Structure 1
Amino acid sequence: MERKLTAELWDKMHYMFRDFNDRMVHVELHYDFRIDADALKTVLICFLEKTPVLHSSFKDNHVNPYWKVEDYKIEDVLTVLEPDNLQKVIDDFLTQYIPPESNVQIKAALFYEGNKSVLCIVENHMCMDGGDLKYFLNALCSNYNDYTTQHKSPLALRSGSRSYTEVYSDLSPMDKKAAQKLYKNVSSRDSHKFPFSPESKEDKSFILRRRINSERFARIRAAGKKSGATVNDILVAAYIHSIYELANYSDNEGITVSCAVDLRRYIKDISSKGLTNHTAFMQCGTPRKGRNIVETLSYVVRSSEKSKQDKFMGLYGLPLLKLGYSIMPYAASEEVIKIGYSNPLLGMSNIGAIDGDALALSNKKPTDAFLTGAVKYKPYALLTATSYNNELSLSMCVRGNEEDKKIVNTFFDYMEKNFNELAK
């Protein structure tokens, strides 16, 4: 008998995002030893069985879409290889696309090079966001260690409701009632965009990364702290200031960046919640270009503080989306939501610090760890930031060409210049 899972609100929204990005989230972890492939297979099988959406296909029947739980083989999920050209196979693996109609929504690869290993993972954002993917990775490593050292069954993974309504579960009755009436559409209407080249049939997915070493990152954080700025504020300010310079926008124009907000901030205990999406956006911008990066940062701090003072930050629009999906067949509701929803042209996701201790396998922490968001389709752009071993990594995933690679690298050059100006 066919087994069905509910297509939750955010599953449907990320499916709608197929016009804007490939919806894949990417992980790359490097280790100085050879990971036990058989043990990893066992852990992955147990995790997929505990999270059936990861081995389900999305059924868009135009009326009421759902997930159909599918059979799979571990070979559908995990590739084990000792390649001749390690970097090429990593790049090829990470830029792949998993169709929602596939029988699995997550793929992993274990690449060996001598006595070293690289673990890569790609998963469909429809199933879970970066916040839960970080948890998934930590749990994967913890279960691997317990299985290889104590022969414990690798089943220690959260399961439960994947519904967006969990964000209301710990609000007071009064706040819950108010939050469920936040129909205001707060999606960005800013028309400023990243100056990519025109779309071309030759465009291919690529991921570019820029590292800021630990010494420089420490100086940047210290400089921001003097201005009352968070790391997120610094990133947004450098992003906006660099866009002015890269795209030659007028100094008198205001620019807004949509910043990802983890809605788990409203859930006191997530231990009984399933892996899912709980990410929304807040708008952060400047009224004009600052005379320098310090002034631009002051504009951003004011903007973000205003957003943070709202106790319902990130919850706006959820009731509107729920209403849209409830009052008409799915195909029609998607078209209506597309009219009202404005996908941000400039977005940023600060995934934050990656915990090396939590990702240790056989008592060996990763020598490098990297996590980044979906490949965006031009003209949409997403800057992703993570830190590991006190180093900052900036990344952009784009479906583009060699000219776009040059543009993104020039953008990173501007980001570094503005970081340096701030840290003087």
Structure 2
Amino acid sequence: MTDPNNLDPPIKIPKHYPTSTLDKLTFLLHNVADQLIHLVIEYNGHLDFALLKKAIKISLDIEPILGCKFVDHPKNPYWIRREDLDQIDYCSLVESVNIEKKLREFVFEDIDPTKDPLFQFRIFRSETDTLCFKVNHVIMDGGGIKEYLSLIINIYTSLEKEQSFEAIPNISGSRGFDQVLRKFGLFKKFVLFLKNRAPKPSWCFPWSGINKTNKNYIIHRFFPERFRRIKQYGKERGATINDMLVTAYYRAMFKIVKPRPGEPMVSVVTVNLRSYLKNFRAESVCNLSTGVYPNIAYNPEDSFDDTLKKVKKIMDEI
């Protein structure tokens, strides 16, 4: 029998948390960029709504930073744990025959990290369920979403099997670049710094001010069969899906901007730094990405394959 006097005391969840460099940088851009990241999952059946809400509540204790709001202090911004967590509805359910309309309304609703919950789930229910997750970029990136949803799935599955799930707060995991940089020596850090400095932009979109009221989203679906064909096309040429998307982006921008032939065009591609970490996982939910800058010269005679070869060569070097 366990002696209650020998049990470890529960871990106390701190009230304040430091911001990482990327937290601050992302927040600085909140007036000029759309800071919402969305994920939509379609199911064949129905989710257990009550169980999902319970899993989310448990996750807020496992990753306490998610139960915070951003404090925009002029000298040293920080995260502070919310005192109204029990009153916040992090997950809602909407029944409708017009899922597309309701989904668009949901993704258009902004999240202010200084006031609102940092993320929201919503189940759109008809004959089947569609789950939409949206989060403010200040707290996590795409890699962070994958890690957080993996946690939600693990909790949900355990609860579904009527198994207990121990909610041990993650209060010591790093949310900054240090968890990556400690893997490299000083010289390697210097080389990476020189290699990944942002070059001077060589093209741009017309500036239309910082008013975000007219923002819009275009939804483009790649159905499984088409995605498999695209993936196979790239595989036959030694290219990744990311290489294919960058190539398509360049060719679309060439058509829109119409640069001079031979003019090098710089773009930015996000790189997930978790690839340098053990098990490809960060120590906590966070932003852990950087940008690399492929530079492709425009040639009006190039085919898609020609552009893909140029993109692949640069991305392989990165």
- Please give the TM-score of this superposition, normalised by the length of structure 2: 0.84
Q: Distance in 2 between matches of 1:155 and 1:119?
A: 24
Identify the residue that residue 305 of structure 2 maps to in structure 1.
Answer: 294
Decide whether the 8 Å contact of 2:41 with 2:132 is kept in 1.
Answer: yes
Of 49, 59, 69, 2:71 maps to: 59
1:220 to 230, 248, 267: 230
| 1:279–1:272 distance in 2 versus 1, CA, 3 Å | closer
The counterpart of 1:12, out of the listed 19, 24, 29, is 24
Partner of 1:260: 270
Aligned to 1:88: 101
Structure 1 residue ranges (4+ consecutive) displaced by more than 6 angstroms after TM superposition: 156-159
Contact 1:43-1:154 within 8 A present in 2 as well: no
What's the CA shift string for 1:372-398, capped at 9, x where partnerless? xxxxxxxxxxxxxxxxxxxxxxxxxxx
Bigger relative contact order, structure 1 or 2, given CA contacts below 8 A and separation 6+?
1
What is the RMSD of the two structures over their aligned residues, measured on CA atoms? 2.8
Unaligned runs of 5+ in 1: 308-424
> Deviation at 1:177?
5.2
Q: Which residue among 132, 147, 157 is the counterpart of 1:120?
A: 132
Identity over the aligned pairs, expressed in percent?
Answer: 24
**Cα separation, 1, equivalents of 2:36 and 2:183:** 30
- From 68, 77, 83, the counterpart of 2:90: 77
Do residues 274 (structure 1) and 287 (structure 2) align? no
Q: Structure 1 pair 236/43, CA: closer, same or farther in 2 (3 Å)?
A: same
How far apart are residue 79 of structure 1 and its match?
Answer: 1.8
Residue type at the aligned position of 1:121: F
Structure number with higher strand proportion: 1
The count of corresponding residues between Structure 1 and Structure 2 is 302
**1:333 alignment partner in structure 2:** none
Question: 2:220 and 2:98 mapped to 1: Cα distance?
Answer: 22
Counterpart check, 1:49 vs 2:53: no
Residue matched to 2:5: none
Q: CA deviation at 1:262?
A: 0.7
Q: How far apart are 1:68 and its partner, in Å?
A: 1.1
Give 1:77's aligned amino acid.
Y
What is the aligned counterpart of 1:111 among 118, 124, 138? 124
Matched, 1:193 2:204: yes
CA contact (8 A) 2:61 2:168 kept: no
Task: Provide the residue aligned with 2:113 in structure 1.
Answer: 100
Contact 1:23 1:125 in 2 (8 A): yes
User: In the TM superposition, what is the alpha-carbon distance from 1:261 to its structure 2 partner?
Assistant: 0.4
Deviations 1:121-148 (A, max 9, x none): 1111111111121121122122212102
Pair 42,217 (structure 1): closer, same or farther in 2 beyond 3 Å: closer
Deviation at 1:247, TM superposition (A): 3.0
Deviation at residue 284 of structure 1 after TM alignment: 1.5
Task: Tell me what 1:31 maps to.
Answer: 43
- TM-score, normalised by the number of residues in structure 1: 0.64
Does residue 168 of structure 1 match 2:178?
no
Partner amino acid for 2:114?
E
Structure 1 residues 168 and 98, CA, compared in 2 at 3 Å: closer, same or farther? same
CA distance in 1 between partners of 2:263 and 2:279 (Å)? 43
CA contact (8 A) 1:82 1:112 kept: yes
Deviation of 1:82 (Å): 1.7
- What SS does structure 2 have at the residue aligned with 1:121? strand
